[in-house]
Amino acid sequence: MCQTLNQAGLAAALKQHHDAAWTWAMVCCRQDRDAAHDVLHEVYLKILQERARFLGRSTFKTWLFGVIRVSSQAARRKRFRLGLILEPISDHPNLAAVACEPNVLGTSGRLQRAMLALPTRQRQVATLVFEHDLTVEEAGAVLGISLGACRRHYARAKTKLQACVPHREAGDE
């Protein structure tokens, strides 16, 4: 299954997955647009300069998301060393308390707030599975965690999200 892509195939694959890559970079960078832009730029440079190579051991999307995750972690460590990171968004004391409160944005707003209130790993797994249509196994591969750990994070995230978003009754539409 080891297959590499030529430059044209690589460019086409990057173009095809750009929107999903941007969304994942935003998640990895905790919704910081500037950091996500920098990370995605760095990822594309790594790929085009062949410092990161797709060998076909997984799907291209899974591999690309893994490169984005690793690059965002490296960028975060660098910013932390420079003293630019003060407090992770998921650790903000008021965010968890208001995550399930009704608001003017409706269900999708509550869901977004609930997603932000999840612990980092649970939020990453939920994003990969729900928004990017990866399997739990593929999400584990992207995050570099075992299948069992990924399933555990996925189950916990689902439970917390279900508690915050009301279910529709059979007659409601």
- Which pLDDT score is estimated for 133? 82
Q: CATH assignment of 89-164, given 1.10.10.10, 1.10.1670.10, 1.10.10.1100, 1.10.3720.10?
A: 1.10.10.10
**Phi, psi (degrees; rounded to nearest 5) at 56:** 80, 15
- CATH 1.10.1740 residue spans of the chain: 7-81
* Torsion 89-92-95-96 (CA) sign: positive
- CATH 1.10.10.10 residue spans of the chain: 89-164
131 DSSP 8-state letter: I
**Tokens at residue 159, please?**
């439970």
Q: What is the pLDDT along the chain (173 residues), one digit of tens a residue?
A: 345 677 788 889 999 999 999 999 999 988 889 999 999 999 999 998 888 988 888 899 999 999 999 999 888 888 766 665 444 444 444 444 434 444 433 456 777 788 888 898 999 999 888 888 889 998 999 899 999 999 999 999 999 888 876 655 444 44
Its pTM stands at 0.59
- By the 8 A CB rule, do 66 and 139 touch? no
Q: How many CA atoms lie within 13 A of 129 on its CB side?
A: 21
Whether domain 7-81 has CATH 1.10.760: no
Q: Rounded to whole angstroms, how far apart are CA atoms 157 and 91?
A: 16
- Which pLDDT score is estimated for 108? 65
